[in-house]
Structure 1
Amino acid sequence: MSVVVVGSVNRDVVARVARIPGPGETVLASSLSRTGGGKGANQAVAAARAGGAAVAFVGAVGDDADGAALRDGLLADGIDVTGLVGVPGATGTALISVGDDGENAIVVVAGANAARSDLTSVQRERVGEADVLATQLEVPLALVTAAAAARRAGAWHVLNAAPSSPLVDAHVDAVDGLLADVDVLIVNEHELRDIAAMSSLEAVSLDAAVDAVAARVPALIVTLGADGCLVATPTGRRRIAAHPTRAVDTTGAGDTFCGVFAASLAASGASAGKADIEVFAAAARIASAAAALAVRSPGAQEAVPTVADVAGLLSEAGAAR
């Protein structure tokens, strides 16, 4: 079984602060670190550590030291990087502030991630080998669309529509075309409401937003932080409870969820269009456990748990029932 992730890879520059500064405010950081990040790369690492599937990454880095180091980091997790191309210029960078409460504020400079809007022949070959294709929206929308079109029959396309702004800003025909090529859409509540074109967070219920978006894709997963996640398909809904945890750093928790979900879906052996809600719910339970572990440690890729860690938490949760 194989997972191919098409997406972004960034150098994360992380400042630890007592609290996230407000507009015009300066705060002093207690530490600064430089780590591997980017939604695509984070999800590839999560899928690789989940076990059960070979993982390949398709993306772009610059011709700088960060690009070489990030490539080496992916290789260290056993990820196939033959689809990671080098382009002139800087590698993507994310500037991240993390508060003592675990919340974060992130500014992303796309760099090499914005350099390509189509796949190379090698990248197309990698995508064509996937049982599960995982994409996000930190790369050009055209690249995501090209990847969806390149997958083989029966392969899953799992889109994590984060950040949601590219879909909100895109022409309606482009959005309709992309969503028509999605088998599983993963979003948080804010992204869900954006895609549902609902602007008032207070006046619009979660159920109404789920109804609006679930009608457009075969399966919808809504991550809800401490409230767990919701799985919605044409045959019903399942609410997956969150695992109690103390958040040290929420950076990359959503990516951990998505990567582990993709690996679990691949391990299920089900083909796109031939799975019921129980397959999605089972994958979401494993992904929720992984995300709960990820927020207990600082960093994005550094905090991604191993398959043994996740199995241990699930075992503890089962024994506590």
Structure 2
Amino acid sequence: MLPKPLVVVGSVNADLVLPIERLPKPGETLAAASIETVPGGKGANQAAAAARAGFPTFFVGQFGRDDPNASLLRNALLGCGVDLTHAAEVDGPCGTALILLQAGGENSIIIVGGANQAAWRLSDGVKALIAGAGAVLLQREIPEPVNVEVAKLAAAAGVPVILDAGGVEGPIDPTILPCLALLSPNETELARLTGLPTDTEAQVQAAAEQLMSAGVKSVLVKLGADGSLLLPGPGQPPLRQAAIRAEQVVDTTGAGDCFTATYAVAVLEGKAPAEALRFASAAASICVQRKGAMPSLPARAEVDTLLAKQ
């Protein structure tokens, strides 16, 4: 019997990547070595990462009907094994992200919402898909009311909801928090959401506990090169996962999306939380060693091979 699918509701962007040595100072002009258009967007990245990890995955998002990049984005997702049956087309351009990729792999990103921020309507087919999912995965590059509607539909059907806190910087609608089986911010997002410092591990844990006191069932904090910290639930001890070292960091774009999505896949496959963290860490370690968001996502066999070497 096939497992219930992972349903990712979120954004899809054409990423315009400019490799630069460093960020320009105010009034300064720098030369970029090239410009490249690659598929991305937090929702699309996460759907692609889950599908590449071998799990049945649907992407519910919006492509711009008037954008020549739409076919590039669709074909990239289909090529990763993502089911686009319930994706929509709307008037106007696709979402776009300008990514300033610095030497050493760090990036700065500017987003134009495009189709992601156009009006959404959840069809009866999408609502049925959500109600029958193994889990629903959300991010914050689409309108917040859409996330709230999806989360409430899923929670009412007993479907676990995972929210990656990446995307817009505003506060999360408090009505969504009790619907969340898992909220996954990085330490910067965690500080922004709680107003608390996140400079030390103790501070990270305290901030995550504040989110749980607001109704979130568990919190998974992504700490970049320092790994991750999972608070699995009230009264349960936190789990710490060190990063699996990458031989060379080429591009961190999409690594957080890869981590969240592959963690969701591991949990849906029945792995214990500690094992799921290791699986996600291995996937992210492979991801940062390649250029681009979606093009860098590892296949299942690559993750299994790396884990076998640990």
Contact 1:17 1:100 (C-alpha < 8 Å) held by counterparts = yes
Structure 1 segment 224-243 matched on structure 2, within 5 A: 224-232=223-231, 233-234=233-234, 235-243=236-244
Does residue 297 of the first structure (1) align with residue 260 of the second (2)? no
Counterpart pick for 2:158 among 154, 172, 180: 154
Structure 1 residue 100 displacement after superposition: 1.2
Counterpart pick for 2:131 among 108, 128, 133: 128
Larger mean CA deviation between 179-188 and 205-214 belongs to: 205-214
Percent of aligned pairs sharing the same letter = 38
Partner of 1:282: 275
Counterpart pick for 1:182 among 170, 180, 186: 180
The C-alpha deviation readout for 1:190-228, integer Å capped at 9, x for no partner, is 111111123x56699323312212333111000101110
Contact 2:52 2:81 (C-alpha < 8 Å) held by counterparts = no
Contact 2:198 2:207 (C-alpha < 8 Å) held by counterparts = no
- The unaligned stretches of length 5 or more in structure 2 are none
- The unaligned stretches of length 5 or more in structure 1 are 269-277
TM-score by length of 1: 0.89
> What's the secondary structure of 1:35's corresponding residue?
strand
> What's the secondary structure of 1:206's corresponding residue?
helix
Counterpart pick for 2:261 among 247, 259, 262: 259
CA–CA distance in structure 1, aligned partners of residues 300 and 157 of structure 2: 29
The C-alpha deviation readout for 1:58-92, integer Å capped at 9, x for no partner, is 01011122122211221122211111100000100
CA–CA distance in structure 2, aligned partners of residues 222 and 24 of structure 1: 36
TM-score by length of 2: 0.92
1:154 is aligned with what amino acid?
A: G
CA–CA distance in structure 1, aligned partners of residues 75 and 129 of structure 2: 19
2:301 is aligned with what amino acid?
A: A
CA–CA distance in structure 2, aligned partners of residues 60 and 164 of structure 1: 17
CA–CA distance in structure 2, aligned partners of residues 227 and 6 of structure 1: 28
CA–CA distance in structure 2, aligned partners of residues 305 and 97 of structure 1: 23
Partner of 2:42: 39
Contact 2:187 2:198 (C-alpha < 8 Å) held by counterparts = no
CA–CA distance in structure 2, aligned partners of residues 129 and 80 of structure 1: 15
Structure 1 segment 161-240 matched on structure 2, within 5 A: 161-163=165-167, 165-166=169-170, 168=171, 175-198=173-196, 205-216=203-214, 217-232=216-231, 233-234=233-234, 235-240=236-241
Alignment coverage as a number of residue pairs = 300
The C-alpha deviation readout for 1:82-114, integer Å capped at 9, x for no partner, is 111000001000000101110001000000001
